[in-house]
Copies of this chain bind each other. A is one copy, B any other.
Amino acid sequence: MVQGTANWNTKQNQEWLQEYVEDWISFYRKHTKEGKVASYIPLLAEANPDHLGISIFGANGMTLRAGEVDIPFTIQSISKVISFIVACMERGVGYMLDRVDVEPTGEAFNSIMHLEMRKVEKPFNPFVNAGAISVTSMLPGRTSDEKLEPMFQLLDRILGYRPQINVDVYESERDSSMRNRAIGYYLLETGFLESDLNITLETYFKQCSIEITVDDLAQIGLILANDGEDPKNQQEIIPRQVARIAKALMLTCGMYDASGKFATYVGVPAKSGVSGGIIAVAPPRVRDEELPFVDGCGIGVFGPALDDKGNSIAGIRLLRHIASQWDLSIF
């Protein structure tokens, strides 16, 4: 498709690719009409369903951005990747994997039923709400500030700045998410909650309310694509083992109960959130060197109109198209 040379990171190539990406945004924006913004958290319902933005950060330094890239949004479920990584760094991978399973569920992200069906066993995986709340309870600290601190430190190291919590969204989540409280009490009863429930939920709602942009997601994705190292200076930000487990989990469980379809049709580790964000991770691959981003890239997408699984409806189609055009799949 795209023609190029061994070194893709030329200005000319970048311009070509930039044009493509802008065309694709225009094309896939029409699919936003087929989705709906999340309504279960009142403030999320105010998002503009027409928005669609993408940011792609290559390990080779190339950056592509198109659409609404400057609109901040709350990270929501994508924070589950961050909290799981931080918990692994703070408590050890073994500790975490003893306490949270890593199996896809086939069910919706906020399922309580699955907890009950496997009574004495641990939550299915760290990316369903039950598992994520359990993970948050395992973060060290006695207050939500203490628990959030290592998450913010990690984000600061990755992004070069310390993102903020959107207090309005936090309060809206805190006051409306009764199902997460139900899950919390269920975890408390079954022994999978390791901190005070209110502190845990406060932390969880706050971590979901961290405000980021598609650039931030692309940058986090790039670090994961590079196995936890910053490609600019080869410094380890996330331990290699943790980064790789996170990617395995993103591939099998990252897109709610559409994870299998995303793995099949797109083929890269990814995680979505109900505010319309998606982080996608394309590792380096052994392929035709004329393809762009063969050294890996991170991708951030924002498109608040969601499909019935809770994933950005236009974002998924856009990612599928890009993955297909540039052969990003890990398979």
Chain A interface residues (CB < 8 Å from chain B): 97, 101-107, 111-117, 124-125, 178-179, 181-186, 188-189, 244-245, 247-249, 251-253, 257-261, 263-264, 267, 269, 283-286, 329-331
Contacts of A264 in B (CB 8 A): 97, 102, 245, 248-249, 252
Contacts of A104 in B (CB 8 A): 103-106, 252, 259-260
Is the CB–CB distance between B286 and A263 below 8 Å?
no
A111's contact among B97, B103, B116, B244, by CB below 8 Å, is which?
Answer: B116
What is the bound-complex CA distance between A258 and B330, given in angstroms?
21
Q: Give the oligomeric copy count.
A: 4
Contacts of A260 in B (CB 8 A): 101-104, 125, 249, 252-253
What is the bound-complex CA distance between A178 and B193, given in angstroms?
12
What is the bound-complex CA distance between A255 and B115, given in angstroms?
21
A-B complex: 6 closest residue pairs judged by Cβ atoms: A178-B189, A182-B185, A103-B260, A104-B104, A181-B185, A182-B186
**Distance in Å from the Cβ of A227 to the closest Cβ of chain B?**
9
Is the CB–CB distance between A103 and B182 below 8 Å?
no
Is the CB–CB distance between A247 and B186 below 8 Å?
no
Q: List 15 A-B contacts (CB under 8 A).
A: A102-B261, A103-B106, A103-B257, A104-B252, A104-B260, A106-B107, A111-B116, A112-B112, A112-B116, A113-B116, A181-B182, A244-B329, A244-B331, A252-B260, A252-B264
What is the bound-complex CA distance between A124 and B264, given in angstroms?
13
A263-B252, A331-B251 known; A112+B257 contact, CB < 8 A: no
Is the CB–CB distance between A261 and B182 below 8 Å?
no
**Distance in Å from the Cβ of A263 to the closest Cβ of chain B?**
5
Contacts of A269 in B (CB 8 A): 331
Contacts of A186 in B (CB 8 A): 112, 178-179, 182
A263's contact among B106, B179, B184, B251, by CB below 8 Å, is which?
Answer: B251
What is the bound-complex CA distance between A178 and B259, given in angstroms?
32
**Distance in Å from the Cβ of A226 to the closest Cβ of chain B?**
11
Residue of B with least CB distance to A249? B264
Residue of B with least CB distance to A93? B264
Q: A178-B189, A181-B185 are in contact. List 12 more A-B contacts (CB 8 A).
A: A97-B264, A103-B259, A103-B260, A104-B104, A104-B252, A112-B186, A248-B267, A248-B329, A249-B264, A252-B263, A252-B264, A283-B286
